[in-house]
Chains A and B, each alone.
Chain A
Amino acid sequence: AQRVTQPEKLLSVFKGAPVELKCNYSYSGSPELFWYVQYSRQRLQLLLRHISRESIKGFTADLNKGETSFHLKKPFAQEEDSAMYYCAVRGGATNKLIFGTGTLLAVQP
């Protein structure tokens, strides 16, 4: 079964520190991996997807098929990065998105 694991419920860092939000997945086949972000009082929005291999707002994520991971990284955290981050996997015929439990990133000044 498809599953996404985000081991950290809360990650607190100081401004300027590096950030790594962990995501591991289990899926047989070739999944699509995503990171979604939800800022306070805003709707969920796509941050990035592995197939586009781009950097959004300074964040990057590399799909490691050997470790089945898709960790989200940013070298220097900013206060405005504080939000809830969800890793998600999609694949198969149904196109369903399966979300992880989310990690709350708190960037302290």
Chain B
Amino acid sequence: GAVVSQHPSRVICKSGTSVKIECRSLDFQATTMFWYRQFPKQSLMLMATSNEGSKATYEQGVEKDKFLINHASLTLSTLTVTSAHPEDSSFYICSVEGAGGGEQFFGPGTRLTVL
């Protein structure tokens, strides 16, 4: 299966700052990447779907201007949390999927803590 990495694994920032999280597919052409967030003891909630070279599709209730997603290549997608607030503190997880669908491969996640 695909190897997916995320960087950083953990980040602490002050309220009002922006944080960028990278998701890399190390050995897999990721046509589609997904971004999820997971609150403690809760399930993964899909935030957005991004296809390489096109704009991301956001789920209902997710602010696209706050969570900027860029999927510039088949191996890299970034999620930028702009003007972060304490309520944005969460575990952010990306996954990748190849052309034609199939299995999704998940990254290890990034723990964001906003003070």
Could you tell me which A residues sit within 8 Å of B by CB distance?
Answer: 42-46, 49, 86, 94-102
Contact = CB atoms under 8 A, between A and B. Distances in A.
Nearest to B103: A46
Given A96-B46, A100-B43, A101-B43, A43 B104 contact: no
A49 B97 CA distance: 15
How many of chain B's residues touch chain A, expressed as a range? 20 to 34
A4 to B, nearest CB: 9
A44 B106 contact: yes
Q: Majority SS of interface residues in chain B?
A: strand
B43 A94 contact: no
B44 A43 contact: no
Given A95-B32, A95-B101, A97-B104, A44 B49 contact: no
Contacts of B101: 95
B106 A97 contact: no
Nearest to A44: B106
Contacts of A46: 103-104
B92 interface: no
A62 B42 CA distance: 25
B49 A43 contact: no
B46 A98 contact: yes
Contacts of B104: 46, 97
A101 B90 CA distance: 16
A43 B107 contact: yes
B93 interface: yes
B106 A43 contact: yes
A86 B32 contact: no
A69 B89 CA distance: 34
B34 A86 contact: no
Given A95-B32, A97-B34, A43 B109 contact: yes
Contact of B42 (A94, A98, A101): A101
Given A44-B44, A86-B44, A95-B101, 12 more contacts: A42-B108, A43-B107, A44-B93, A44-B95, A49-B103, A96-B49, A99-B43, A99-B45, A100-B43, A101-B42, A101-B43, A102-B43
